[in-house]
């Protein structure tokens, strides 16, 4: 019997082998998904769509009219979020930003944006998750703990599965390595190949590792045992297909990506290494690609009468900190929760429009809240996986909630 598989939009892995059972348009059982995916798919247990203005129920047309009025009258509106939106929605949001001369940004401006930009510009060698499953013999988890953040990453794509060229799997043919400031769940799986470094110690560790790979004595100011670094260097030099899964722990530690560029260069002089960013929100890479195609930048842009400005001053953090934006449209994100309180509180002084499938701290304080469909569960579309593979998905159940795409189109028409 042919099975109907769904795509889980719970994280950047976009697992495409999910089965669900539903009753009365409610997901009742989820198979194959991880604990994150099961919780995500079962979020769709709701009644009528909610549209609120000043926390009072209104109809859809009133909410859209009020939202359009706020955006039309704003001198410098901010559009932020979109990491959990479909690529179709992201493209409409970019057009909307152009139309209203908005500042446009997503979480990548303070997360993995530099890595995404380097990959889009082909400055780093990368591969797909399918390549990792089929070929990888050395896997490094650097500043990331996929056992918690992306629970199926090790079992479906990297360490545990048997691949076409790795039929004996993790027991004999794969080496998993963790480099981190703490012994995470992933680090415990890596056993003796866990390299614990101090906070902000990544750049020095990279320099020492490069020295070890080059046949020199590795040194660090924090006296990491040279023998351990040389042991790691020898494993990396022998890799036939290596991959570094880079997380925020690594990127936050580096002042820029130069140390990583140097490491990847020397690794590929001795072996065969690739890099994949451990992106959390399922379509952050899609936003970076779509905005880059339109503007040449992956985030932090300001549209102004047909021109595009770019720089850290147009990031969500700096825009709110400097109070340069006077209204905000937040799509599928919760900046009041995730940004530093001293910066996020400035959102309380401007009208905020929140589009989200669930109540958040931001939606509770928003002038307008529009309760949208859950992408991948109640709405279809397409997205870009963390390894830049395009994925399309259909809704698993029907809903009365409008999609973000539908709402944005109506706001565009109302402007």
pLDDT for 3: 60
Q: What is the DSSP letter of 175?
A: E
Residues 221 and 347 in one domain: no
| Coil, helix or strand at residue 310 | strand
Last residue of a domain, one of 277, 293, 311: 277
CA distance 385 to 399: 25
Contacts of 325 (CB under 8 A, 6+ apart): 74, 76, 77, 78, 103, 319, 350
Domain count, the chain: 2
Does residue 115 contact residue 288 with C-beta atoms inside 8 Å? no
Same domain, 155 and 95: no
Q: In this structure, are residues 79 and 103 in contact, taking their beta carbons and an 8 Å threshold? A: yes
Q: The domain spanning residue 265 has which CATH number? A: 3.40.228.10
DSSP single-letter state for residue 38:
H
For residue 172, pLDDT over 90 is answered with no
User: Is the Cα torsion angle 120, 124, 125, 126 positive or negative in sign?
Assistant: negative
Question: Which residue among 277, 301, 320 closes a domain?
Answer: 277
The predicted model scores a pTM of 0.94
Identify whether residues 150 and 299 lie together within a single domain. no
Q: Is 5's pLDDT higher than 80?
A: yes
Residue 1 has pLDDT above 50, yes or no: no
* 385 in a structural domain: no
**In this structure, are 127 and 173 located in the same domain?**
yes
Q: Is 24 part of a structural domain of the chain?
A: no
Q: Are residues 121 and 81 in the same domain?
A: no
Q: Is residue 34 part of a domain?
A: no
Please check whether residues 105 and 119 belong to one and the same domain. Answer: no
Q: Is residue 256 part of a domain?
A: yes
CATH number of residue 365's parent domain = 3.40.50.740
Per the model's pLDDT, the better-predicted residue between 165 and 168 turns out to be 165
Within a domain: residue 386? no
How many beta carbons lie within 10 A of that of residue 282, not counting itself? 28
Distance CA 147, CA 86 (A): 26
Category of 172 on φ-ψ map: left (φ > 0), alpha (ψ -120 to 50) or beta: alpha
The verdict on 161 and 231 lying in the same domain is yes
Other Cβ atoms within 10 Å of 293 Cβ, number: 11
Residue numbers of the domain that contains 106: 46-111+282-374+400-414
| Dist CA 30 CA 33 (whole Å) | 7
In what helix (H) or strand (E) does residue 39 lie, and over which residues does it extend? helix 35-41
- Among residues 277, 312, 345, the one where a domain terminates is 277
Please report, for residues 14, 296, 310, 384, the alpha-carbon distance to residue 2 in angstroms, rounded to integers and kept in the order given: 21, 43, 49, 26
pLDDT of residue 44: 67
> Which DSSP state fits 324?
-
pLDDT in tens, 252-301: 999 999 999 999 999 999 999 999 999 999 999 999 999 999 999 999 99
Q: Is residue 380 part of a domain?
A: no
Which residue's structure tokens are 């036939």? 240
Q: Are residues 293 and 223 in the same domain?
A: no
Same domain, 127 and 229: yes
Position 8 in a domain: no
pLDDT digits (tens, 9 = 90+) for 358-389: 899 999 999 999 999 999 999 999 999 999 99
Are 72 and 175 part of one and the same domain? no
């Amino acid at each position: 019997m042919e099975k109907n598989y769904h795509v889980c939009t719970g994280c950047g892995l976009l697992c495409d082998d999910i089965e669900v059972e539903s009753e009365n348009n409610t997901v009742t059982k989820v198979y194959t998904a991880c604990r994150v995916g099961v919780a995500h798919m079962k979020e769709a247990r709701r009644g009528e769509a909610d549209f609120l203005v000043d926390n009072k129920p209104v109809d859809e047309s009133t909410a859209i009219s009020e939202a359009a009025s706020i955006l039309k009258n704003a001198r410098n509106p901010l559009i932020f979020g979109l990491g959990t939106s479909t690529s179709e929605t992201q493209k409409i949001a970019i057009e909307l930003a152009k139309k209203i001369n908005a500042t446009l940004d997503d979480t990548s401006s303070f997360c993995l944006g530099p890595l995404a930009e380097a990959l889009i510009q082909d400055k780093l060698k990368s591969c797909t998750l399918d390549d990792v499953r089929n070929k990888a013999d050395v896997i490094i988890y650097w500043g990331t703990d996929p056992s918690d953040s992306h629970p199926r990453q090790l079992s479906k794509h990297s360490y545990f599965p048997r691949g076409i060229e790795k039929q004996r799997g993790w027991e004999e043919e794969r080496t998993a390595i963790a480099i981190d400031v703490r012994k995470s769940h992933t680090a415990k799986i890596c056993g003796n190949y866990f390299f614990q470094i101090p906070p902000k110690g990544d750049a020095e560790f990279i320099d020492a590792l490069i020295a070890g790979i080059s046949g020199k004595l590795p040194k660090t100011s924090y006296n990491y045992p040279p023998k351990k670094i040389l042991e790691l260097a020898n494993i990396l030099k022998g890799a036939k297909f290596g991959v570094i899964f880079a997380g925020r722990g690594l990127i936050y530690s580096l002042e820029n990506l130069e140390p990583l560029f140097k490491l990847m260069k020397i690794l590929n002089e001795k072996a065969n290494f690739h890099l994949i960013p451990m992106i959390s929100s399922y379509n952050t890479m899609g936003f970076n690609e779509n905005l880059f195609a339109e503007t040449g930048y992956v985030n932090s842009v300001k549209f102004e009468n047909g021109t595009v400005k770019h720089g850290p001053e147009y990031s969500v953090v700096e825009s709110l900190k400097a109070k340069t934006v006077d209204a905000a449209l937040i799509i599928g994100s919760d900046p009041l929760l995730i940004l530093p309180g001293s910066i996020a509180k400035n959102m309380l002084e401007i009208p905020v429009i929140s589009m989200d499938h669930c109540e958040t701290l931001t939606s509770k304080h928003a002038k307008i809240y529009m309760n949208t469909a859950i992408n991948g569960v109640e709405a279809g579309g397409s997205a870009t996986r963390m390894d830049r593979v395009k994925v399309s998905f259909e809704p698993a159940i029907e809903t009365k909630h409008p999609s973000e795409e539908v709402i944005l189109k109506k706001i565009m028409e109302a402007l």
